[in-house]
Each structure stands twice: as structure tokens, then as C-alpha cells.
Amino acid sequence: MKTIVVQWDCRFGDPEFNFGRAMELMDREPADIYVLPELCLSGYNFKDKQEVDYLSEESHGAYAHRFMDLARSRNCFLAYGFAEKASAGIYNSANLIGPDGLIGTYRKIHLFNRETLFFLPGDRPFRVYETPVGKLGLMVCFDWFFPESARTLALQGAELILHPSNLVLSWCPDAMRYHALWNGVYTATSNRIGREDRGGHVFEYIGRSIIYSPQGELLAEAPLEQEGICSAELDLSLAREKDLNEYNDRIQSRQPEFYSDISVT
């Protein structure tokens, strides 16, 4: 099963350009699954809530339907990040779309930096979606910083974690190796490149979209500062094999009764 992560310099406030650029890059190579960056339609560095509201859309919005057309025509699956307009407010979300339409929407739980000014924290638990290509989990960007994110998806049976991102911290691409290894899952992180300097706030994005195997092997990696795609052939059956040796299993060898869950006050 071919998986592609897509990386480009998302243009702030220009969803039509960003959608078109995503399509151009995806046209380079057919795949079963495509992963696009976080907030890839709107851009990331908002000045105020008015911009967020203007650049948001509902989970079944116009661009979602255009991505559905793509998935239907190519018989593929697609994860992308967007600003989701909902009755309670606006979420930093990711849609998972397949040939039959919208499969699910994940709302980012762990908000980073100034996101906390503009978005509501996710109000839904992590969830794994059973699809014809495998068991797919979603997390968004800064969720990587919390080991519980990938572990929760792995405990639910995820075989591949799709990870739309706008990374500015340099550690994430390397850290994803260990999320893959510890949990015995594939991970596919799609990042962006470029620089956004708006309202006195500067974000520089690090590229390095990356795919890892359940053994922590680097399968594909994009450059630091170059638009493009990178792809890997995945055998998701390998993500069902959690054995490390004849005595140890990544999941069954856990000892949760000894792991404390102490609330920090």
C-alpha cells in the first residue's frame, strides 16, 4: 500500500492556492493514502479570531467535498488539516476522507503556543477508523509531544497513524521514530515549509515530512526547505506483530497497574 506525505509552503489566507498546490503535488504520483499538513488550506499564523473565523469551514464544507471528489476519482484515502467551524467555536482539526466520503474528523487535543488564543481544545477522544486499506488513526502536530497520543491509538489497534503537522520544533521528525517503534505502528507525518511573519509573530517551518515503520525504520523523508512529496510502500500486517522476542510484546508486556496517573495541580 503506497502512502505519500505532501509538503509545501502554504500561503496564508489563500485556501484556493493551497488546494491547487496540494492537487498539483498529489498529481505527481498515485497513492492509496495521502497525508497533507495541518491547517493546510488557511495557513497557520493568525493575527486574530476574525481571521480564524473567516478562514474556517465546517467538516463537510466546500473544500472537504472537493477532496471527496479526488478520493472518489482515485479510489484513495486522504488526511488533511483545516480550521473547523462548529457550533461551539473553531477547532484545529483533521479530516479523514475516503472514496465513499468523509470518514471522520479529529479535533486537535494538545494546542500549541498561540493556537490556544484561537481554537478550542479537542472535545473528542482519539479514535481509530477501520477502512478497506487498514486501521487508521489521526493526530495533529503537537500531539506528538505527548506519548499518550500515539499509545492511545495503538491500544485501539491503529496500524498507521496519519499526522498532519506545521512543525516549528526540530525534535518531532526524530521523535516520531520512537512513537512508531514503541507502539509497533507506521507513522506518516506531513509537514510544511516556509516562513510566516505576521502581526509581530514569526513561525519558521522545518519541513522533513517523514514516514517510519513499526521497527522504527526510516522509510521516506522530505527535505528541510523543498516542496514535494515522499512515498513508501507499507505492509500494514507488520503493525499487527507486536512481539519483540519470544518473551516480550510491545502491548502485552506493559504493566499498567504500576503506571500512576497523578493529576498535576
> What residues are annotated to the active site?
38, 108, 141
Q: Which of 7, 19, 14, 116 is nearest to 63 (CA)?
A: 19
How far from 159 is each of 54, 220, 255, CA to CA, in Å? 36, 17, 22
**Cβ atoms within 10 A of the Cβ of 253, count?**
11
Cα torsion for 176, 177, 182, 185, to the nearest 10°? 80
Cα torsion for 38, 42, 45, 51, to the nearest 10°? -140
Cross-strand partners of 228: 7
Euclidean distance between CA atoms 35 and 53, whole angstroms: 24
Cross-strand partners of 7: 228
